[in-house]
Each structure stands twice: as structure tokens, then as C-alpha cells.
């Protein structure tokens, strides 16, 4: 059967964005669409073979060092707005060059795709909201764009409600979350997937959510969540904006949905292997040696983490804790700069590492330097808790496997995700009661937090109850949203 059209997908550079975008591509092919995944060439190794070899997926790699088009075809990307303090955040300033290079490459690609003989004009482009600077390029070629949130709906809803700051504007939000806004009126929080910590101060008050500008001009919003988990927040956002919203998540690997709740997942089957000091088999053997539900898994994802001082506190806490643990430490950990390779530059200062800790703890802990098989760890029966930054992918993977979360958010939407986990879903705890930006996390906070989570039967029962939402596989509500979205773009 001939494909019914072509859809472009443009992810942000980080793994937490690339993974759901790849799953979005695969979902779209189920409806007989061809999909073109556009990535900078330095992300090439992150694309697994099953995506590259998919008959309906084309991976277009754009070199960051490509020669710009001739002057008459060159593009001028729109000026990036300053943040609330008048400066420029992670998406701005020194990184604008990377966006210019990628933008020129996208422009050249679209020129050939839209004007070349025998080429089919794309139906639309699904653009990660963190790549919203690119929307002018797609509109230049009269390609409608769709805003894609790789995070959930809670952050967008809470940010909007805090900005409006009126009781009437909070109607529809869960009471526990609305109260949190009232208690923290002067902590605006970061936007969905915002790379810098929440900005502004007591005198500034909550600012207009950046995502409102990022989705301006889009025909619809796709959000990586489902009604079963975030119904009130989805409905709240839908009532605030004049655009259709389709919740199409969680966008997790197909094997995740096809596996039973008791089966162990293997990361190498769905994700490209990365450099690590332990193989999946070695991690499996270590977990097999531990009793059921005894292990605390500690990971802050691939992009952010605590400060150097807090990492040292974490090392002392894990050594003092009575629980066996797996601790994942990424390159450049503790440094206030993007992770190596995010923009194609692998140069970075050496990060934190707890030298001597592995000798002192022996078999009690497994310290993984680099890439960890997270799906395997979360699906193993020995894992009983997850100390997490509450990145959206990690949060969804833990919920789907019934693993309670001890939330240690680092930036932006993670603070909202953490409160979603602790205050609304009630399947975990915050490592600090307030957990606002700037609070220092200390050894005693960590030790007490781990003990509280691991011994709290209530959060364990609630985590298992939430897992049942996904027991039948990919949520029916999300599949219905996908079908409605397809009908919209096929008109």
C-alpha cells in the first residue's frame, strides 16, 4: 500500500527529546505515513538500526559544519527573545550559532524537497517546542507545523495558572496542585523542557509561559502523556488555548508495551549502546544477587544533575544508607554546562566521580560511569525505588513498572513533575519538602528520603496501582488521540 503522505519530525538534541520523537515517528508509520526524522549529524550514533531500517522512516542528517546556501537563498532566523532577567538562557547566546547552522541545513533540505522534481510536499512538520525557532523555516515553504511537547501536561498547566495568578484561573486543577501555586506565588518555575532553572524573583512574579509563544502559529499541540495520568492538567490547558490538543503518550519503546509487567526489558534491543563501564549482562547479574525490592536506583538522566557539592553529599549518603544501590554518573556531572556531545562538541571539563567509594562499599553498590540500561533496571524485581530528577521519560518509565520515586528535580518542568509524582499521583516523595530552586540538598536529606520512600508501603501500593493503567499496553485514550490527529492533518 502506498504511503498517504510525508510528515517531518524535528527533535531537540537531548536524549530525553530524541527518544520520544523516534517513537512518534514509529507511531505515525502505523497510519501509513512516511516520516522524515531531521537530526544534526552528531546525533547519528543515537539512532538505532530498527529506526534506520524502517521502510517508512527516512533519517536526514544535517551537518553542523555544512556550507551555507548562496546569499539569495540564505535565511535569517528570528531573533531569540531574552529571558525575564534580560539575559539569554541555554537556548540563546552562544548556542545561536548551532541553530543557525542547523537552520541553514533544514532550509537547503526543504528547498530540494518542496521544489525538486518528483518530490512530495510534506503534510506537516512536528516540531519539538524547544526547536520553535525553526518554525519560520517551515512556514517559508508553506508547511504547517505542529508543536510537540516531549514533556507532560502538568508543567504547562501549572505554569499558566501561576502566571494568571487568579482563583478563577485555577478552576479545574487538582486542589493539592492549586494550593501549591497559592503557597509559592513568587516562584514562577521553568517552562516545559526549559534548560535553565526558573528565573525571576520575588519582585518579578510569575512570567508569561514561554510555551505560549513557542506554539504560536501551530495548527495543534501533541503532548507526550495520556488522560489516564494527567486528565485534569490536559483539560485545563485545552480550556486556556484555542488549539486542539492531542495526548499521544507515553511514547515509550514498542517492546515496553508488549512486555508483561513481570518481564525484564533489555535496552540494547531498542536503544543504541553507549559507552559504559558495565555491560547489561553485568548489571543483570548484580541485580540478580539482591533481594526483591531492595535496590535504590539513582540517576539524573543524560543532561542535568546536582552540583559538585551535592554530588559529594550524595556519595556520603549512599555509603551511609542501609540499602544497596545502583548509581549512574554521567560525564561532566556537577558542571554547569551542557553535556558533552549535545551540540556536537565532545569537549567538557571532567565531572564528579566518588573516587574510593566503590572499594569502601564493595558489593553493596554498583557505580555506573556513562550509559546505564535504565529499562532493564526499572523492570528488574530487585529494584524498589528510583532517586530521580523527574525528567519526563524517566518518570513515565518508572510509573509503567510500578517503581516509587524519590524526586530530586534540578530545573524547569522537573519541579512540576516532582510535585505531580508526590502531591497528585502520590507514588513518591520529594527529597526536600519545599524543593524550590536554589535549595541545597544535604546528606541527611538524602538518607532520610531514601528510608522514607523504601519503607512507605503506601507509595509502593500506589505505584503498583498506577502501573495497572499500562497493563494492557499503549493507552486506548492516546490511540484515539492519534486517530483524531491523523484526521486533522489529512483534511
Look-up: residue for cell 556531572?
333
> What angle, rounded to 10 degrees, do the helices at 154-164 and 227-240 form?
40
Of 109, 99, 101, which is closest to residue 134 (Cα–Cα)? 99
**Percent of the chain residues topping a pLDDT of 70:** 82
Please state the length of the chain: 491
pTM of this structure: 0.88
Q: Is it true that 5-67+96-150 and 263-469 share their CATH fold?
A: yes
End-to-end CA distance of the chain: 20
5-67+96-150 has which fold?
A: Rossmann fold (3.40.50)
User: DSSP string covering 387-431, please?
Assistant: EE---HHHHHHHHHTT--EEE---STHHHHHHHIIIIIS-SEEES
DSSP state of 215: T
Element of type H or E holding 34:
strand 34-40
Burial of 203 (0-12, 13-18, 19+ CB in 10 A): exposed
Cβ atoms of residues 375 and 263 within 8 Å: no
User: 354 vs 169, which has greater pLDDT?
Assistant: 354
Q: Report the greatest alpha carbon distance in the chain.
A: 67
- pLDDT tens-digit series, residues 9-30: 999 988 889 999 999 999 999 9
- pLDDT tens-digit series, residues 109-124: 999 998 876 778 899 9
Stretch among 159-168, 303-312, 354-363 having the lowest mean pLDDT: 159-168
Q: What is the dihedral of CA 417, 419, 425, 426, to 10 degrees?
A: 140
161-190 burial by CB neighbour count: b if 16+ within 10 A, else e? bbbbeeeebbebbbeebbebbeebeebbbb
Q: What is the mean pLDDT of the chain?
A: 85
Q: How confident is the model at residue 437 (pLDDT cuts 50, 70, 90)?
A: low
pLDDT value at residue 196: 38
- Mean pLDDT calculated for residue range 139-157: 96
pLDDT value at residue 335: 66
- Mean pLDDT calculated for residue range 176-180: 79
Q: Where are the domains of the chain?
A: 5-67+96-150, 263-469
d(CA 223, CA 211): 12
Burial of 335 (0-12, 13-18, 19+ CB in 10 A): middle
Of 131, 127, 3, which is closest to residue 78 (Cα–Cα)? 131
Residue 414, pLDDT > 80, answer: yes
CB atoms within 10 A of CB 483: 12
d(CA 356, CA 302): 23
d(CA 280, CA 266): 8
- pLDDT tens-digit series, residues 453-486: 999 999 999 999 999 988 889 999 999 999 999 9
263-469 has which fold?
A: Rossmann fold (3.40.50)
- pLDDT tens-digit series, residues 244-288: 999 999 999 988 888 876 789 888 877 776 788 999 999 999 999
Amino acid at each position: 500500500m502506498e504511503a498517504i503522505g510525508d510528515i517531518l519530525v524535528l527533535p531537540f538534541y537531548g536524549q530525553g527529546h530524541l527518544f520520544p520523537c523516534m517513537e512518534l515517528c514509529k507511531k505515525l508509520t502505523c497510519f501509513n505515513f512516511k516520516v522524515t526524522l531531521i537530526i544534526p549529524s552528531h546525533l547519528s550514533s543515537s539512532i538505532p538500526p530498527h529506526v534506520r531500517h524502517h521502510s517508512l522512516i527516512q533519517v536526514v542528517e544535517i551537518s553542523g559544519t555544512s556550507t551555507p546556501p548562496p546569499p539569495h537563498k540564505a535565511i535569517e532566523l528570528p531573533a531569540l527573545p531574552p529571558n525575564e532577567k534580560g539575559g539569554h538562557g541555554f537556548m540563546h547566546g552562544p548556542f545561536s550559532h548551532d541553530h543557525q547552522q542547523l537552520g541553514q541545513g533544514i532550509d537547503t533540505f526543504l528547498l530540494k524537497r518542496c521544489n525538486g522534481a518528483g518530490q512530495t510536499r510534506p503534510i506537516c512538520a512536528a516540531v519539538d517546542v524547544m526547536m520553535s525557532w525553526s518554525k519560520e523555516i517551515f512556514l517559508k515553504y508553506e508547511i504547517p507545523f505542529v508543536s510537540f511537547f516531549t514533556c507532560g501536561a502538568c508543567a504547562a498547566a501549572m505554569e499558566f495558572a501561576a502566571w494568571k495568578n487568579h482563583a478563577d484561573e485555577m478552576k479545574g486543577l487538582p486542589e493539592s496542585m492549586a494550593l501549591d501555586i497559592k503557597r509559592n506565588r513568587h516562584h514562577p518555575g521553568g517552562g516545559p523542557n526549559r534548560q535553565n532553572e526558573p528565573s525571576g524573583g520575588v519582585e518579578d512574579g510569575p512570567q508569561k509561559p514561554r510555551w505560549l509563544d513557542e506554539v504560536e502559529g501551530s495548527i495543534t499541540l501533541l503532548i507526550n502523556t495520556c488522560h489516564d495520568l494527567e486528565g485534569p492538567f490536559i483539560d485545563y490547558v485545552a480550556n486556556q488555548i484555542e488549539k486542539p490538543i492531542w495526548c499521544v503518550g507515553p511514547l515509550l519503546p514498542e517492546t515496553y508495551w508488549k512486555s508483561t509487567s513481570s518481564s525484564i526489558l533489555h535496552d540494547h534491543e531498542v536503544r543504541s549502546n553507549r559507552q559504559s563501564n558495565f555491560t547489561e549482562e553485568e548489571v543483570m547479574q548484580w541485580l540478580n544477587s539482591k533481594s526483591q525490592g531492595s535496590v535504590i536506583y539513582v540517576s539524573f538522566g543524560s543532561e542535568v544533575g546536582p552540583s559538585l557539592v551535592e554530588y559529594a553529599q550524595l556519595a556520603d549518603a549512599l555509603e551511609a544508607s542501609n540499602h544497596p544501590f545502583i548509581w549512574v554518573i554521567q560525564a561532566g556531572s556537577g558542571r554547569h554546562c551542557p553535556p558533552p556531545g549535545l551540540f556536537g562538541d565532545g569537549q567538557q571539563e571532567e565531572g564528579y566521580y566518588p573516587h574510593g567509594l566503590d572499594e569502601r562499599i564493595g558489593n553493596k553498590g554498583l557505580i555506573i560511569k556513562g550509559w546505564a540500561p535504565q529499562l532493564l533496571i526499572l523492570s528488574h524485581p530487585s529494584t524498589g525505588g528510583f532517586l530521580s530528577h523527574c525528567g519526563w521519560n524517566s518518570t513515565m518509565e518508572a510509573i509503567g513498572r510500578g517503581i516509587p520515586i524519590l524526586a530530586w528535580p534540578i530545573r524547569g518542568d522537573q519541579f512540576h513533575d516532582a510535585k505531580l509524582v508526590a502531591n497528585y499521583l502520590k507514588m513518591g516523595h520529594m527529597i526536600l519538602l519545599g524543593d524550590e530552586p536554589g535549595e541545597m540538598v544535604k546528606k541527611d536529606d538524602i538518607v532520610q528520603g531514601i528510608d522514607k520512600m523504601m519503607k512507605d508501603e503506601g507509595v509502593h501500593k500506589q505505584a503498583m496501582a498506577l502501573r495497572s493503567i499500562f497493563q494492557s499496553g499503549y493507552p486506548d485514550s492516546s490511540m484515539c488521540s492519534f486517530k483524531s490527529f491523523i484526521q486533522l492533518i489529512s483534511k
